[in-house]
Structure 1
């Protein structure tokens, strides 16, 4: 038995006071109407309608049952109607998790423009460098940086690639000298971003040769902004995503080293649970992210 269909049949029969009228309303044959009522009565374990060839009437049990059926079917209709605005336009609450530094350096000034373009959306943005569980924690979308995205059931949309540079303040290089090769880093004061996928080993490539240097750091911190502040103060050197230090390099607060070596790259992705039935609010934010990273 299709219980939902049987409940609709029962309601129409009761409200129209007839099997034939209910059949015409629902596009079902008289036999199908009778079959649905019989199966529903078997499921309920009681007679719901007394009927003869000429007339029908609800039993006492049928009247009680009808009250609950009407409330239930109306509630389902209201639930569908509540989703209509969300399906038809970008609206509703959008929960997003994003790394703090990426957001503060690349997105935070543009987000008010996104919200102005989509007045129906309320954005709940969580800045957190940890890797959240989208499903369990109830996020619609997350921005993630990774050297290589792990296998996952999540859908990933590539946003940008961030090269890394080894850098420090001029005062640090004046005091300690610039490393001439990656192996020289063993004698330098490294500052370590502890949440990075390459926090423990820094990798450099040149002319097809790769060198991996184990990082011994006096200062490890779970914030790229804190690493940048330590570099500005001349405390040490670090391997940093270029966009995080671009203005410092331009304005001379920081300088690069090992510029003839290439370092790792971090790819930024927008990840979300499924392509199927993608809500307009998520689609709008994905397009915004793609455009913003393309612009910057």
Structure 2
């Protein structure tokens, strides 16, 4: 298989010919004079022909050098042009960003703020995928994901936005009929709705006021893979559930739901915006990440507005 042309050496040759000096070419290219000289010598060795006549006072092109100069100048100018164009494009947010998010969170909260992002960055397009299962960012080609979890150590880059409180809730009608549980063990006697997309849906864990831990096996008439779909049954007084605050805050504010067992805290996940490994991100990805962190940190379920 033939070797690739030595594009760097051709560009260095063109710069030496342009400046008429190895030293001046080295200054322009931010290289050492020795590196410039070696690049030209490497090219001459590869060609089997000299490109410059060198004397202590004068540098001039050989016949071979004159014949090669025009194309070498094109290599240099095209390289400079493509770098300048690419750098300019990467500085302006432009193109498609693939974003993954949990379904309920995406419908309730991302959908409300994304119009502002699209208005702010009209040359950016979003490809939004909503699903409650955890996507593989690298394998599935996503640029960013919103995750609500206690993140394990991984190679993904994550920016933490805020805690996402989880609380035990039910309707006033339910608590009037069945009483409010005061301790995790009381939940064994209650109708508990469960969320399927966790490791142990039927085992609820809590930390008490003194740091003590408790776990209880629960049961009930409804299991779902989207927490938002529990809201209607909770408001109807049919059971209790552990719900993220971002889903139930409106019902709590309106009095349609109430909290119970407030001294006992379920595990508290956090909201993160994560991206694949690698520190360099296109401008379109960076501005979306910054926008999500800014807007979600001031979300209404956190401020109570």
- Per the normalisation by structure 2, the TM-score is 0.74
Q: 2:286 aligns with which of 263, 271, 283?
A: 283
Gaps of 5+ in 2: 55-60, 300-305
Aligned to 1:120: 123
Residue in 2 that maps onto 1:189:
191
Higher strand share goes to which structure?
1
Residue 86 of structure 1 contacts residue 92 of structure 1 at CA under 8 Å; is this kept in 2?
A: no
Cα deviation for residue 137 of structure 1 reads 2.0
Equivalent residue of 1:108, what SS?
helix
Aligned to 2:203: 201
Structure 2 distance, partners of 1:24, 1:252, is 79
Q: Is the 8 A contact 1:168 1:234 kept in 2?
A: yes
Q: How does 1:90-169 map to 2 (within 5 A)?
A: 90-146=93-149, 148-169=150-171
User: What are the superposed Cα offsets for residues 174-198 of structure 1, whole Å, 9 maximum, x if unpaired?
Assistant: 5544334211222322222122366
Name which of structure 1's ranges 213-222 and 91-100 shifts more when overlaid on structure 2.
Answer: 213-222
Q: Distance in 2 between matches of 1:73 and 1:134?
A: 37
How far apart are residue 288 of structure 1 and its match?
A: 1.8
Deviations 1:83-138 (A, max 9, x none): 22343233332222111222222332121112212223222222222222222222
Alignment of 1:44-83 (within 5 A): 55-57=62-64, 79-83=82-86
Distance in structure 1 (CA, Å) of the matches to 2:87 and 2:119: 22
For the structure 1 residues 88 and 34, does the alpha-carbon distance in structure 2 shift closer, same or farther, using more than 3 Å as the test?
closer
Number of residues of Structure 1 aligned to a counterpart in Structure 2: 284
CA change 1:34–1:239 in 2 (3 A) is closer
Aligned-pair distance for 1:238?
A: 0.9
Contact 1:164/1:263, CA 8 A, preserved across alignment: yes
1:223–1:31 CA distance, 2 compared to 1 (3 A) = closer
Q: What is the CA–CA distance in structure 1 between the aligned matches of 2:188 and 2:161, rounded to whole Å?
A: 34
SS for the counterpart of 1:262 is: coil
Partner SS state of residue 99, structure 2: strand
1:159, CA displacement in angstroms?
Answer: 0.7
Unaligned runs of 5+ in 1: none
1:150, CA displacement in angstroms? 0.5
Distance 1:197 1:77 in 2: 54
Please state whether the residue corresponding to 1:289 is helix, strand or coil: helix
Structure 2 CA distance, aligned partners of 1:254 and 1:109?
A: 23
